[in-house]
Amino acid sequence: MPQSQSQSQSQSQYSLHILNVGMNGVTGHHEIEARIEEIAQEGHTIQGVPEVYGIEPTVLQTRFGGDLLKWRSEIAGKMLKRHLAHSALQGEILKWKGEKVAVALPPPPPPAPPNRIMPPSLDLMAAENQRRSKGWHA
């Protein structure tokens, strides 16, 4: 990662913004819809991509000891990691604006094999029949 990108990320502040909460009527999982919000050093806010996470009570108990805050913390960590990857990628893609890139035509396909009227086995049979019709016997 370029040093300037690393510096700008370390000076930003991140938070998990929970947009909606509920329960999935099909799976029964308790769900949150959330996104990462980044406040850049310049003061502008970057809204991350909203994602929905759900958890079933048994999994909450076995993986997190029933602690919802641990589950939420894990979600926040995963989302921040993805947000930083998206931000870095978007930063590189934005550099392409207005750029012209030379492209070349793809190479031509290889030549097709010669067309045969009959499969080789039929060619041999035809040759044998022709030889017999002329009175040539092996």
> CB-based contacts of 137: which residues, under 8 Å, 6+ apart?
none
Of the pLDDT bands very low, low, confident and very high (cuts 50, 70, 90), residue 132 is confident
- Among 32, 34, 15, which Cα is nearest to 23's? 32
33 burial type by CB count under 10 A (0-12 exposed, 13-18 middle, 19+ buried): middle
- pLDDT per residue over 75-92, tens digit each? 999 999 999 999 999 889
Taking only the tens place, the pLDDT of each residue in 16-40 is 999 999 999 898 899 999 999 999 9
Residue 7: what pLDDT? 47
Would you list the domain boundaries of the chain? Answer: 3-94
Whether residue 65 has pLDDT greater than 90 = yes
Q: Which residue has the higher pLDDT, 127 or 80?
A: 80
Cα 33 to Cα 18: distance, rounded to the nearest angstrom: 6
Paired strand residues for 35: 17
Looking at the predicted structure, is the pLDDT value of residue 134 above 80?
no
The pTM (predicted TM-score) of the whole model is 0.62
d(CA 45, CA 136): 93
Q: Hey, how many other C-beta atoms are within 10 angstroms of the C-beta on 24?
A: 12
| 62 sits in which H/E element | helix 57-64
Whether the pLDDT of residue 6 is over 50: the answer is: no
pLDDT of residue 38: 95
Predicted confidence (pLDDT) at residue 107 exceeds the cutoff of 80: yes
Residues contacting residue 90 through CB under 8 Å, at least 6 positions apart: none
| Tokens matching residue 122 | 């039929």
